[in-house]
């Protein structure tokens, strides 16, 4: 029995999902924190229902917005089918944030005192196939003479450690700001959202791992989008955010490509 197969049951299914695999857009959408699902064998990790459905488990609304963007842009979307409570796929295995035993104000009993074997099982079961699928997709496009523009979609909680966050949409980047600059310029006159650069956090917080892994070494245009989750809690909010963000991407990519 492989390490992966004792992590998931048949009913759990695969860790990685791909929507619109034949999408024609250069944009490749990625959603690392798409799901609050836990594999059956992990139970509830000792957490309350409140914690299991909160932002520590997933990015509420992010997948819904990413799916709408995938349709609007005709872009492929790769998303993780299990909760970041087990492994945060936007963190490398050596990061203490990959598997947390405390997240914001919540203790996660099921993550305390993990053995190396269990850490390795989660890395192999969740992280490696996820980042591997992104790597393969980018390589297949390159072989076919296609570009990739890497766009990761996240949501954040309006209140963190008791503090209200004023930013509504964050446009985040690491050392390559080309696409972020273009999107911020396109958003400059909007009255729809309060849009800010590298807020509510930025590359110093270790949040640009997926971009660092795939986009920066290859010089691919890239950006990380953060949406305040109270704004995308229903269909209408998700529609408006996806339209707005797809528009920013279209406008900035047209400008960059001339």
Q: Which stretch binds Zn ion (CB under 5 A): 40-48, 123-131, 137-145, 152-160?
A: 152-160
Tokens of 122: 């989660």
Measure the CA–CA gap between 239 and 230, rounded to whole angstroms: 14
Q: Is 209 among the residues that bind Zn ion (CB under 5 A)? A: no
Given 26, 33, 106, 169, the residue binding Zn ion (CB under 5 A): 33
Q: Is 154 among the residues that bind Zn ion (CB under 5 A)? A: yes
> Which is closer to Zn ion, CB of 100 or CB of 154?
154
User: How far are the Cα atoms of 49, 157, 228 from residue 200, in angstroms, in the given order?
Assistant: 26, 10, 9
Q: Which stretch binds Zn ion (CB under 5 A): 11-19, 149-157, 197-205, 214-222?
A: 149-157
x-or-dash pattern for Zn ion, window 7-26, by CB under 5 A?
A: --------------------
Residue at token pair 């996240």: 154
Q: Is 59 among the residues that bind Zn ion (CB under 5 A)? A: yes
> Which is closer to Zn ion, CB of 8 or CB of 58?
58
Cβ density class 105-143: b for 16+ within 10 Å, e for less: ebebeebeeeeeeeeebbbbbbbbebbebbeebbeebee
- Hey, how many other C-beta atoms are within 10 angstroms of the C-beta on 44? 13
> Which is closer to Zn ion, CB of 4 or CB of 206?
206
User: Shortest distance, CB of residue 238 to Zn ion, whole angstroms?
Assistant: 16
Compute the chain's Rg from CA coordinates: 18
User: Shortest distance, CB of residue 154 to Zn ion, whole angstroms?
Assistant: 3
SS3 51: helix
Do residues 15 and 130 touch, judged by C-beta distance below 8 A? yes
Q: Is 64 among the residues that bind Zn ion (CB under 5 A)? A: no
Greatest extent of the chain over all pairs of C-alpha atoms, in Å: 57
Q: Is 214 among the residues that bind Zn ion (CB under 5 A)? A: no
x-or-dash pattern for Zn ion, window 103-142, by CB under 5 A?
A: ----------------------------------------
> Which is closer to Zn ion, CB of 184 or CB of 225?
225
User: Shortest distance, CB of residue 59 to Zn ion, whole angstroms?
Assistant: 4
Q: Which residues pair with 28 in a beta bridge?
A: 76, 150
Q: Which stretch binds Zn ion (CB under 5 A): 30-38, 139-147, 197-205, 227-235?
A: 30-38
Task: Using CB atoms within 10 Å of the CB of residue 18, give its burial: 0 to 12 exposed, 13 to 18 middle, 19+ buried.
Answer: middle
User: Shortest distance, CB of residue 54 to Zn ion, whole angstroms?
Assistant: 13
Do residues 56 and 103 touch, judged by C-beta distance below 8 A? yes
Catalog residues that contact Zn ion under the rule CB under 5 A: 33, 59, 154
């Amino acid at each position: 029995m492989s390490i992966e197969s004792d992590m998931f049951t048949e009913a759990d299914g695969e860790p990685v999902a791909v929507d619109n695999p034949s999408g024609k857009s250069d944009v490749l959408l990625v959603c690392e924190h798409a799901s609050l699902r836990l594999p059956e064998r992990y139970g509830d990790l000792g957490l309350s229902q409140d914690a299991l459905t909160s932002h520590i488990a997933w990015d509420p609304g992010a997948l819904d917005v990413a799916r709408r963007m995938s349709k609007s842009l005709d872009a492929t979307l790769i998303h993780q089918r299990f909760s970041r409570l087990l492994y945060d796929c936007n963190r490398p295995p050596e990061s203490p944030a990959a598997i947390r035993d405390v997240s914001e104000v919540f203790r996660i009993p099921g993550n305390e005192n993990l053995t190396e074997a269990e850490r390795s099982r989660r890395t192999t079961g969740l992280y490696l196939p996820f980042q591997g699928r992104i790597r393969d997709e980018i390589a297949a496009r390159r072989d076919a003479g296609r570009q990739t523009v890497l766009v990761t979609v996240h949501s954040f909680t309006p209140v963190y450690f008791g503090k209200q966050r004023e930013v509504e949409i964050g446009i985040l980047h690491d050392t390559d700001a080309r696409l972020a600059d273009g999107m911020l310029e396109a958003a400059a006159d909007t009255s729809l959202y309060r849009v800010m650069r590298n807020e509510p956090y930025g590359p110093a917080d270790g949040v640009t791992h997926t971009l660092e892994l795939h986009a920066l070494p290859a010089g691919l245009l890239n950006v990380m989008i953060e949406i305040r989750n109270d704004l995308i809690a229903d269909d209408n909010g998700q529609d408006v955010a996806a339209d707005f963000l797809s528009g920013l991407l279209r406008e900035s990519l047209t400008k960059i490509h001339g």
